Structure formats: C-alpha cells, structure tokens
Amino acid sequence: MAISAFTAFNTRLAADFETGDKCRDKESILPGSRIELRHIRYVVAAADHGSFRRAAAALGIQESAVSRRIRDLEDRLGTAFFIRSPGGVKLTHAGKQFVQRGRKALSEIGLAKAEISAIGRGDDGHLKIGIFSSLASGFLSELVQAFGEQHAAVQLTFIDGNPAEHLASIRQHQLDVAFITGFGSWPNCASQHLWSERIFAVLPVHHPRAGDLKVNFEDLAHEPFMVSEAAPGEEIHDYLVQRLASLGRHPDIHQHLVGRDNLMQLVALGRGLTVTSEATTGTQFPGVVFRPIEDEVLPFCGVWSASNENPALAALLDLARSMTSAVEQSAFNFLFPDQGDADP
C-alpha cells in the first residue's frame, strides 16, 4: 500500500473510532460511530485464529457472518485487513494497525463496563460525609470501618461542621450524607435516627467528682464550663445553657478559639469543665477523666437528600440501618432475655 493511501486509511479509521455518522446498532463503539463492537471483535478473532472459520467457531456464529461483516468493514474503510488464502487469513499492514487499535478499544470498553457496574452496585465511587461526632469509637466509627471492609473501592471524604452547615451542603448536593445530633424534620431532607450516645462530663483528674462512677448536673452547676468556638462548640454551649438554666443557675461558660485537643488540655489545667459525647471517650487525653452524666443521652440522625441517587450512599444507608437493627435487637435481648425463647 502506498504511504499516502495508508495515511488516508488511518485518517478514516480514527474518524470512525471517534466521531463518524449515526449508527443504528446498539453496540456501536460510541454514539454516532460507524464501527460496531461486533466488527472489531470479528476482526480481532480472525487475526487471533488465522481463519474466519475458526474465529466463527470461537464466537459461536456462522462463518459467513464473520466473512461478510469483515468484508463490509473493509469496503467501508477502503482497504483490506486480510490476505485470504485456502489455508486461512493473514493480516495486512492496515489490518495490523486496526487490530492494535481494536484491542485497546475492546479493553477500554470492558474496563468501562466493569467500572460502571461497580458504581451502580455501590462497590465503587465517592461519598462526602458530614460528621458531628468523634470517630474515635462508637456507632459511627464501627459504621465507617464496616463500610470500608465491604466497599473498599469507595472513596470516603469526611467534613467536620455544625448541623446548619451540613444541612445546607446536603440541600446543595455538596454532601451525600451528614450524621448530626437531635431529632427533627428538616425541609428538603430525608432523615433517620440511627444511634444515641451518652453525654459525659470532662473533669480534671484532681476534681472532687473524678472518682465517681457517674455525675449529674446538680453536682456541677456551680462550676465554670468551657466550649470551643469551632464545631460542635456552639451546640454544646446551647446545651449547657439549657441544662444549667433549668437548675436556676446563671451559666458560667467561656468560649475558646481552640480545637478539641487543646480544650481537653485546658480542662486538665483546671481552667474549667466541658462535656462531650460518648464516642470521644475512646480517645485518651492526659490529665482528664470522663464521667457519664446521669440520664443525659444524645440522639444522632443520618440526613441526606431524597433526590441523591449515588449508589454508594444507598449502600451506606442500608448498612447503617442493618447495624441499627442489630443494636436494637441486642438491647432488647439484654432487657428481656427470656423473650427470645418464648413460644410463638
């Protein structure tokens, strides 16, 4: 084949792979392409087996179908892919070029199908998760770990923030799901209560109540408290104001522009007390002790947009619900151990 003719063939081949005219076949390599996937498979199979007959047998179709479709493709592109002989077929230079590109195309399409299928099953993809609780221990920590084990290819991105920020991000689809405190009906959001955590007072080790198994707000109402200005400091501040004011005390609450670690250090230094959720107690901080506050429990909900069709989100929510059901059943069995053996 002359160089100019081969260059023209390559130009037509590239055009057919990338743009081309409208094709009615559902297996076109791309919308609007004139080359169909089955054409590529036929050519590659014939090259691999050195024979239209053996290629047809491997593909499970008639030899005439392979021969006819390859001939149609050669006529369309204006060049022969094979040198035909009674003993079989052998690739021309143009045929070698087509097969090289064709193998890449089939491989890429196969990978794309596998990736899309994985995303559809929730086995691949990306989740943006707003959090308002520590990941040190507890339900959320266990949920993240279990989801990672079951869906290792899904990338998880975590964003700290307060409920108002998370809800705004959910509505704007900047977050897939947020785990926040409280019960409620949030406009344009779906939600479900998933777990609850006890509330703990954080005391310096030398505090008079540090040796108690639990404390109550009556014991601590006269103490100064501290919160961070960063999330969830605002919610903790409001919670303390409500609880302390109900005891007839004027709340003594100081806000500091520090993170959780430095706030704990301020408690250890005797600058005041603070409160935290149960999950935080999974982390050790020198100089402080955690003591549960009697009858104080904090509910947590998962919140998401009902219009969010991310398959990975559906998989996470299904897992969270199953874990919630398991926790509730375990609690039921603990409270009523004989119920499981009762006759139906």
pLDDT in tens, 4-41: 444 444 445 444 444 433 443 444 444 444 678 888 88
Instruction: Return the CATH fold of 3-120.
Output: Arc Repressor Mutant, subunit A (1.10.10)
Q: Start-end ranges of CATH 1.10.10.10 in the chain?
A: 3-120
pLDDT at 235: 84
N- to C-terminal Cα separation, the chain: 84
CA distances from 167 to 125, 191, 279, 291 (A): 22, 11, 22, 31
Q: Start-end ranges of CATH 3.40.190.290 in the chain?
A: 124-327
Lowest-confidence region among 57-71, 77-91, 120-134: 120-134
Q: Quick one: how far is CA 126 from the chain centroid?
A: 4
Residue type, 267: V
Residue type, 55: A
As a whole number, mean pLDDT of residues 68-79 equals 89
The pTM assigned to this predicted structure is: 0.58
pLDDT 10s digits, 299-340: 899 999 999 989 899 999 999 999 987 655 444 343 434 544
pLDDT 10s digits, 221-263: 999 999 988 778 888 888 899 888 888 888 899 999 998 899 9
Yes or no: say if 247 and 219 are a contact pair by the CB < 8 Å rule.
Answer: no
pLDDT at 257: 92
Instruction: Return the CATH fold of 124-327.
Output: D-Maltodextrin-Binding Protein; domain 2 (3.40.190)
Residue type, 187: P
CA nearest neighbour of 244 among 183, 288, 210, 201: 201
- CB-based burial label for 3 (10 Å; 0-12, 13-18, 19+): exposed
- What average pLDDT is seen over the chain? 82
pLDDT at 334: 38
As a whole number, mean pLDDT of residues 113-129 equals 69
> Which residue carries 């969830």 as its tokens?
232
